[in-house]
Structure 1
Amino acid sequence: MSQLSVDTGHHVITGIKAHHADGKDSQCLPDICNRLEKRLHKQGLLWHNCIADTGYSSGENYAYLEEKGLRSYIPPHGTYKGGPDGFEYHKENDCYTCPQGKTIPFKKVFFEKKNNTKKKEYRALKHVCVDCPIRSQCLGKSAQEKKFTVTFYREEYERNNARVNSPRGSYMKGKRQSTVEPVFGTLTQFLGLRKINTLGIKQANKVMHLSAIAYNLKKYLKFTQKRVKSGAGMLALLFLIKNSVYKLEKLFLRSLKIANYKAI
C-alpha cells in the first residue's frame, strides 16, 4: 500500500511510504503523522488539521491526534454507534438510561479479541429487566439482562463527528477531495504507480519515493514558471513607469525653456 500525505496549499507530496497490504489504513496513520510532524517542524512549518478518509477512522487514531494537538476531520465508519438506539448516555455517572428509564451502569474495560480494540461494557442487573414491558424486544429470548459494549473512545468519536458535520467539516471534505485524491490519480495513471514490479518493501519504497520526486519536480517547475511570468510582468511595469517619468521630465524641461524664452 502506498500511504502519502499532501498539503492543501499547493498539492505537494509531503510524505510517502510503502506499507504491507495485510494491514488497514487506520493502522498506518500514527506512522504517517510521526514522520510528517518531524519533517514539517524541521522546515519551520506548523500543522493544525489532519484530513483523511473513512479508512483512517478509529478511536485510537482520534485519541492519538488529540494528544498531538491536531484537529481531526476523519468521517467515522458507518458501524459506529455511541450506544444502543433510544438509550441516553450520562457522562457524569458513566451510565446509560434505557427507553423505560432504567439505568445501565458501566462494568469493565476490555480488549475485543477480533480486532484487539479497546471497549467498555455496560450491563444491568437481572432484576432491573424482569418486569420491563419491552423485555422481549430489547433482550431477545435467551438473555436475562441488558448488556452491550461501546468503544472506549466514545468522547473522541463525538468530538471528531461534531467537527466533521460542521460547515468547516464540509469545507475540509472538499479540500481532501480536491488535493489528495487527484494526486493518487496522477501517480497511478500518469507515473506508472498502478503496480510495484520490485521485490521487498525497501524496493517498493524506492519506487514510491522516485514517483513522488517526479511529481513534486513537475509542481516546482510549474511554480517557477509562474514566478518568471510574474517577474517579467513586473519588469515591464517598471520599464513603463521609467519611460513615463522620462517623458514627463522632457515635457517639464521643454516648458522651462519656453518660459525662459518668453521672459527674454
Structure 2
Amino acid sequence: MAYLYNTGYSSGENYAFLEAKGLCSYIPLHGTYKGGPDGFKYHKADDCYTCPQGKVIPFKKVFFEKKNHTKKKEYRALKPVCVDCPIRSACLGKSAQEKKFTVTFYREGYERNNARVNSPRGSYMKGKGQSTVEPVLGTLTQFLGLRKINTIGIDQANKVMHLSAIAYNLKKYLKFTAKTVKSDTKAVCYVILNIKTLITLQIRLLTSS
C-alpha cells in the first residue's frame, strides 16, 4: 500500500513509522533537507563522511535536539585533521577548531522516500493526488467550511470526517443526477431513493467506533 501526503508531513519519524508498517511513502522532502554538508561524501559502510580535501569526518554520537526533540547523529573530526587544511577558514569559519555537523538519524529513510518520489511511480502518484485527494480537501475547507475540527480525540475527529464525506458525496451525486432528470425536486427525490444503502453503511461505521 502507498501513502501520499504533502511536504508538511516530511520527517524522518514519519518515514520510519510508515516503513515499519510496511507502507511506501511518496512525501516530497522539505527544501531545507540535506544529507550532509555541501561537497561532503557519505560512506555507509564506515558511517562517516569525507570532506572535499579527502579528510574523514567520523560518526560520534546519537542525540535528541532540544529545540524540537528530533533525533540526530553528530559527525566530528579531531582538531589535528583540520589544522593544515587549505580551505580551513572557508569550511570552519573564524572560531571553530574542528569540523562538526549533525545529520538526521533517519537519513536513509529520507533517501529511500526521495528515490520513490522522483521515480516514474512517484510522478504517477503525484498526479493521482492532485486529481483526486487535493480537490476533495480543497472543496471541504474552502466551500464546505471544514477548516477546523472542533472535537476531542481521533475517534470523534474520524466521525466528523465521515460525515463530511457524506455531505461531499451527496453534493456531487446531486449534481450528477440533476443532469438526468427534468427538475431539481425530482433530482432530490432520486438521490434520496438511491443513497439509502450508503447512509446505512456510514451510520453503522460511525456507531461502531
Shared fold, TM over 0.5: yes
Correspondence for 2:118: 165
Equivalent in the alignment of 2:152:
201
Q: How does 1:119-130 map to 2 (within 5 A)?
A: 119-130=72-83
Normalising by structure 1, we get a TM-score of 0.61
The verdict on how the C-alpha distance between 1:87 and 1:114 changes in structure 2, with shifts beyond 3 A counting, is same
One-letter amino acid of the structure 2 residue matched with residue 201 of structure 1: I
What residue identity is the alignment partner of 2:134? E
Following TM superposition, by how much is the alpha carbon of 1:82 offset from its aligned partner in structure 2, in angstroms? 0.3
Larger Rg: 1
Q: Cα–Cα, structure 1 residues 219 and 107, in superposed 2: closer, same or farther, change >3 Å?
A: same
Q: CA separation in 2, counterparts of 1:49 and 1:219? A: 26
Structure 1 counterpart of 2:135, from 182, 185, 194? 182
Q: CA deviation at 1:189?
A: 3.6
Q: 1:215 aligns with which of 168, 184, 188?
A: 168
Distance 2:37 2:126 in 1: 28
Residues 115, 210 of structure 1: alpha-carbon distance in 2 compared, 3 angstrom cutoff: same
Structure 2 residue runs without a partner (length 5+)? 179-209
**8 Å Cα contact 1:188/1:194 also seen in 2:** yes
2 CA distance for matches of 1:224 and 1:107? 65
> What do residues 54-82 of structure 1 show as CA deviations (whole Å, max 9, x unaligned)?
00110011111111111110001111100
Distance in 2, matches of 1:173 and 1:149, equals 31
Verify: 1:77 aligned to 2:37, yes or no: no
**Which runs of structure 1 show a deviation greater than 6 angstroms over 4 or more consecutive aligned residues?**
220-225
Tell me the TM-score normalised to structure 2 length: 0.76
Please show how residues 60-75 of structure 1 align to structure 2 within 5 Å: 60-75=13-28
SS at match of 1:214: helix
Distance in 1, Cα, partners of 2:41 & 2:95:
24
SS at match of 2:132: helix
Q: Secondary structure at the match of 2:29?
A: coil
Matched, 1:105 2:49: no
In structure 1, the gaps of 5 or more residues are: 1-47, 226-264
Quote the sequence identity (%).
85
Aligned-pair CA distance for 1:223 = 9.1
Aligned-residue CA RMSD in angstroms?
2.5
- Aligned-partner residue type, residue 160 of structure 1: N
Counting matched residue pairs gives 176
The one-letter amino acid of 1:94's match is: D
Displacement, 1:180? Answer: 1.4
In 2, the alpha carbon distance for the partners of 1:195 and 1:130 equals 56
Q: Indicate if the aligned counterparts of 1:193 and 1:208 stay in contact, CA closer than 8 A.
A: no
